Amino acid sequence: MWVTAFGVLGAIIGSFLATTAIRWSQGRSVKYGRSSCDGCSRTLRSSELVPLLSWLVARGRCRTCGAGIDPLHSLIEAGCALVGMAAALVAPPAIALAGAAFGWLLLLLAVMDARDFWLPDPLVAALAVVAAAGAWVAPPAWQERLIGGAGGFAMLWLIGAGYRRWRGREGLGGGDPKLFGAIGLALGWRMLPAVLLVAGLVGLGWVAFQRVRGRAVAADDALPLGTLLAIAAYPAWLLMIGMAA
């Protein structure tokens, strides 16, 4: 029952987060304005806004003009549903809710960084607040979280500063150290090396995949480090909570 409930809740929250990801990057208000078709601007009815189900019934297209609905909506809704269900599978409700909130924000940040190389400070701050609040219900202890938060930020900030001094150009975005610090607040300092290692391996795997596809990869090609960190961080949380249980 709890797994299903968290999956439904995740899909509902994912609907809002998908709208946030699309509108914010376009400079549109997230708080105001009803959902409408991007093709004909028709205001959507409530029956057309049911997470996942409405997209499937409409076959991914507007019923009026036939314009395609951005698949990001259904992908984020499905991703948030899976995040919620995974949290409910490894933890009791209170801890699962804290972990799911952490995962939902990570998913939103991962998508925004992958699409626009952008980690908005308000979202990273919200992630840090959720991560710190998790200390009330779940491990690790707050001392490990504080060390993880400070150490995560300092680690990437120093790497970025060293690269800038050595190569004379930016190698890391300004949001990456903040995101890693927020992840450290959630996981504690012990998990950070593993998260960074997995993020690096995922990045190398992506580069290798591009090479196999025949795409040339240059030394100055950018990868969204925030996305890679987010991909590594949530499974690390699931593993940590599962081992603690």
Instruction: Summarize pLDDT for 89-127 with one digit per residue, the tens.
Output: 999 999 999 999 999 999 999 999 999 999 999 999 999
Q: Which residue in this structure is represented by tokens 């012990």?
A: 190
Over residues 161-168, the mean pLDDT reads 89
First vs last C-alpha separation in the chain: 20
Longest dimension (CA), the chain: 56
User: What is the distance between the alpha carbons of residues 30 and 110, in angstroms, rounded to a whole number?
Assistant: 18
Q: Model confidence over 198-238: pLDDT tens digits?
A: 999 999 999 999 889 888 777 667 899 999 999 999 999 99
SS3 214: coil
Residue owning tokens 């400079």:
27
- Res 167 pLDDT > 90: no
Using the predicted structure, report yes or no on whether residue 173 has a pLDDT greater than 80: yes
Q: What does the pLDDT look like over 82-99, one tens digit per residue?
A: 999 999 999 999 999 999
pTM of the model: 0.92
Going by the DSSP 8-state scheme, the letter that residue 139 receives in this structure is S
**Burial class of 99 by CB neighbour count within 10 A (0 to 12, 13 to 18, 19+):** buried
Continuous H helices in 91-224 = 93-116, 121-133, 142-167, 175-187, 192-212
- How far apart (Å, rounded) are the C-alpha atoms in residues 172 and 159? 8
What is the residue extent of each domain of the chain? 1-90, 102-245
What value, to the nearest 5°, has the Cα angle with vertex 90 and ends 140 and 16? Answer: 90
Write down how long the chain is.
245
